[in-house]
Amino acid sequence: MATTLFSGGTIWCGADREPSDALLVRDGIIAAVGATACADALGLGTEADLAAPEGARHVDLAGGFLMPSFGDGHAHPLFGGLEAAGPQVRACTSVEEIIAEVARFAAAHPEAEWIVGASYDGSLVEGGLFDARWLDAAVSDRPVVLRAWDYHTVWVNSRALDLAGITAETPDPVLGEIPRRPDGTPLGTLREWGAVDLIAAVQPPQTGDERLRALERAAAYYLEHGVTWVQDAWVEPADVDTYLTAARQDRLGIRFNLALYADPRRFSAQLPEMIESRRRVRDAASPLLTAETVKFFADGVVENETGALLEPYCSSLHNHGMRVWEGDTLAEAVTAVDAAGFQIHIHAIGDAAVRQALDAIESAITANGPRDRRPVIAHAQLVAAADLDRFAELGIIATMQPLWAQLDALMTVLTVPRLGEERADDQYRMRTILETGATLAFGSDWPVSSGAPLEGLAIATSRQTSEGRPVGGWTPDEIVDPARALDAYSASVAHQAFADAAPAPWGAIRPGASADLVILGTDPRTLGPADLAALPVRATYLRGALLHSSDAASARA
């Protein structure tokens, strides 16, 4: 058996447990915690002998911080991996930079029939409304499709509009919007998937190899940031095929759970397909892949005024926003999915959507009876005061994105003007939800925002931008203390993943658990937000195997 001893630093065992000073791993499983227990397990005479344990590889933490590896409770890894294949517009800080990057990419790739990229900054233009003619200046003879960083919006050139048949006469589709110029012609921005699907219907799909490479890039990205489990929160049938191929070829890299996307336009036909997809994944019997979850969208996003609100938007393009499932249809679909044994995962941004999601889950519990279901409401950007206690009462996990809880340009330019100052201050009530007794798990929604947990931790523990604004933090009563924030990115995500029910549970430092571990440069609980965001991830282990190393200490025997 492969045996590894970790010592020489802080071994963090969770918010409610004392740190330890040594950890022993045998054949990918934690065998002992603490110097005395490790010495006994190795048959050593004294703890001093741990400095050079015979028959074991020794990893000197060199003052570093070892903890359970991070999880990401809500993300889109295939989307993230695919971004590298197109024009790199995420870092662009103006429309002119985006256009120049698209032109550069098109010139470098004359063979590309379509120019596809992501994620441009929607706050660069008032209202997030981008014109097709601006992209025409870069490429006019080939279609260009760019996703905004919210992944609910695309910006296309005129050629793409022509190929999709989107004209002044095209009505707004169900679950979508086509912003228009004063003369009625389509502007070039398409909002929500009903409109985005008009482009997707004529856009060639990526090849199987492109998708596999994207998944490998995503896994490598996550390992660099200390993450070993990801909830893919939007999986369609072609994505299931990609994951199964990667599993067969041993190319997954990390653990994934798939949330199969429920579309209200065709849900009745989807449920049998979802059950079959779950069976296929179970039959593959990969220790790194599950498909036990179904993803629902209850609404859109505030930035498009498609997030569903109890009270109207201030600028009121859409009054109360958009409900994806009308009437009782969400409750009916959630109840059916729950009866089939799936975990429920609902995107709910606005307070009306959160209430609808809570009601739907409560209906499923009433109809189907008690069981360990661990339903998830993702984002929970706005939660009405009357609904805050319902998360704990119904056993619902609030999977939230700490990076969004800051007064950055997205918030100040697009969000606050739509909600108003008073309502804006009720966003992302992470500490409040935690203090009700509910489980708070963290996710990134990568590539919508960074998938680096340390960057999220910096915001969760400060509610400040990278420039340290505002002093004392925005809505400081919602700051989460560092230990609880670390738990939200590790133990709580493991709870969401049912990891404690696995043969070798992960997300914990205790004997019998899988050695899914991350080594950080120092104790993150001692750092301010700027230093925390820059804290190096020195090593990432999955089942005891070193899969990422950025310094010599983690590799030293």
Cα separation, 382 vs 298, whole angstroms = 13
CA-based radius of gyration for the chain? 24
Which CATH homologous superfamily contains domain 208-497? Metal-dependent hydrolases (3.20.20.140)
Helix spans in 371-452 (H): 390-393, 409, 416-419, 421-424, 430-435
Amino acid (1-letter code) at residue 188: G
Task: Enter the tokens of residue 74.
Answer: 């809500």
Q: What pLDDT is attached to residue 316?
A: 59
Quote the longest CA-to-CA distance of the chain. Answer: 86
Helix axes 237-248, 267-284, angle to 10 degrees: 0
The answer, yes or no, to whether the previous bond of 462 is cis (omega within 30 of 0) is: no
Q: Would you tell me how many other CB atoms lie within 10 Å of the CB of residue 435? A: 14
Q: What pLDDT is attached to residue 424?
A: 97
Q: What is the mean pLDDT of residues 167-195?
A: 94
For tokens 């709870």, the residue is 495
Cα separation, 273 vs 236, whole angstroms = 10
Q: Are strands 289-297 and 343-348 parallel, antiparallel or unpaired?
A: parallel
Q: What is the mean pLDDT of residues 289-298?
A: 98
Cα separation, 381 vs 348, whole angstroms = 8
Q: Say whether pLDDT at 330 is over 60.
A: yes
Q: Do you know the residue count of the chain? A: 557
Helix spans in 319-464 (H): 329-339, 351-368, 390-393, 409, 416-419, 421-424, 430-435, 453-460
CA distances (Å), origin 338, targets 272, 330, 399: 13, 12, 19
Name 5's bridge partners: 24, 58
pLDDT confidence of 262, banded at 50, 70, 90?
very high
Q: What pLDDT is attached to residue 315?
A: 75
The answer, yes or no, to whether the previous bond of 447 is cis (omega within 30 of 0) is: yes
Cα separation, 110 vs 270, whole angstroms = 39
Nearest CA to 179 out of 350, 317, 321 is that of: 317
pLDDT confidence of 317, banded at 50, 70, 90?
low
93: Cβ contacts below 8 Å, ≥ 6 apart: 121, 124
Q: Say whether pLDDT at 1 is over 60.
A: no
Q: Report pLDDT digits (tens) over 492-527.
A: 999 999 998 888 899 999 999 999 999 999 999 999
Residue 119: helix, strand or coil by DSSP? strand
Q: What pLDDT is attached to residue 318?
A: 63
CATH numeric code, 114-201:
3.10.310.70
Q: What is the mean pLDDT of residues 211-240?
A: 97
For tokens 């959160």, the residue is 354
Work out the end-to-end distance of the chain between its first and last CA atoms, rounded to an integer number of angstroms: 16
Cα separation, 257 vs 254, whole angstroms = 10
Domain boundaries, the chain: 3-68+512-549, 114-201, 208-497
Helix axes 351-368, 329-339, angle to 10 degrees: 40
Cα separation, 175 vs 389, whole angstroms = 31
Q: Say whether pLDDT at 32 is over 70.
A: yes
Q: Report pLDDT digits (tens) over 93-127.
A: 999 999 999 999 999 999 999 999 999 999 899 88
Q: What is the mean pLDDT of residues 432-456?
A: 97
What residue ranges in 185-288 does DSSP mark as E strands?
A: 189-191, 227-235, 255-261
Task: Enter the tokens of residue 48.
Answer: 């001093």
Helix axes 329-339, 267-284, angle to 10 degrees: 30
Cα separation, 447 vs 82, whole angstroms = 10
**Residue-by-residue DSSP string for 278-313:** HHHHHHHT-TTEEEEEEEEE----GGGT-S--SS--
Q: Mean pLDDT, the chain, as a whole number?
A: 95
Q: What pLDDT is attached to residue 555?
A: 43
Domains 114-201 and 208-497 share a fold: no
Q: What pLDDT is attached to residue 48?
A: 74
CATH fold of 3-68+512-549, please? Urease, subunit C; domain 1 (2.30.40)
Q: What pLDDT is attached to residue 157?
A: 98
